Amino acid sequence: MRAGATLAVKGLRRVARGLRRGLRYTVLAWLVLTVGAVLALRWFPPPTTSFILQNRVAALRAGYGFYPYPYHWVDYEKIAPTMALAVVAAEDQRFLEHWGIDLIGIEQAIRDNRYRDRPRGGSTITQQTAKNLFLWRGQSWLRKGIEVYFTGLMELLWPKRRILEVYLNVAQFGGSVFGVEAAARTYFDKPAAALSPQEAALLAAALPSPSVLRVDAASSYLRGRQRWVMNQMQRLGPEHLEGL
């Protein structure tokens, strides 16, 4: 009886050691993969994004086949400076000040949402970049936790200019339009380098809900947001991002 109990205890200890070893290897593999991916994307353009892949799967399930997405990477220097200013003005005016999580912005969003018909979020540009690149749509504490993890990695491993460059290239500007170059050519028949302040403001105004706020059929609400973005751009001034 005593010998059997001893064997059982030893067996449980072996199982526990195996589980701990497996957990360590899993955590190590996760760190290597995620840190390696984020570090590589500091220098190399992402070949695709999680959101684009999710759209492709949805199109296949709906019977549309391999739906084309006009995603074209362009370097920061080939994007009109007014476009970078527009997304900062519209989405994250404290972009240069925070480290990925803007607690002041979240607090402000909570206060503002008490009086708004359309609630706004407090996500930063870094958080949105992480979400577009690596995560799935929807809301859950698990997804938010992983988003915060990737946000921290990006802020640690990328300069602010790279974060903004990647965001401009992966942000969704319409149901099947990803990245500012594709958006500029789809909606205005010009490259991203030639966008005017009005066009940049309209694109940035659609970012909270690109599938609903259609740039090619702008509603009065979207036009109102466009005017607000232009006012914020003027308030920040063209020199706001000169230090990037």
Q: How far apart are CA 26 and CA 169, in angstroms?
A: 32
pLDDT tens over the chain, length 244 residues: 456 566 666 666 776 677 787 788 888 888 999 999 999 999 999 999 999 888 888 878 877 766 666 778 999 999 999 999 999 999 999 999 998 888 887 777 666 555 555 555 678 999 999 999 999 888 889 999 999 999 999 999 999 999 999 999 999 998 889 999 999 999 999 999 999 999 999 999 999 888 888 999 889 999 999 999 999 999 999 899 987 8
pTM value is 0.87
Three-state secondary-structure class, residue 172: strand
Token pair for 219: 């509603």
Q: How far apart are CA 198 and CA 213, in angstroms?
A: 16
Token pair for 47: 């070949």
**Range list of β-strands (E), 43-194:** 172-174, 177-178
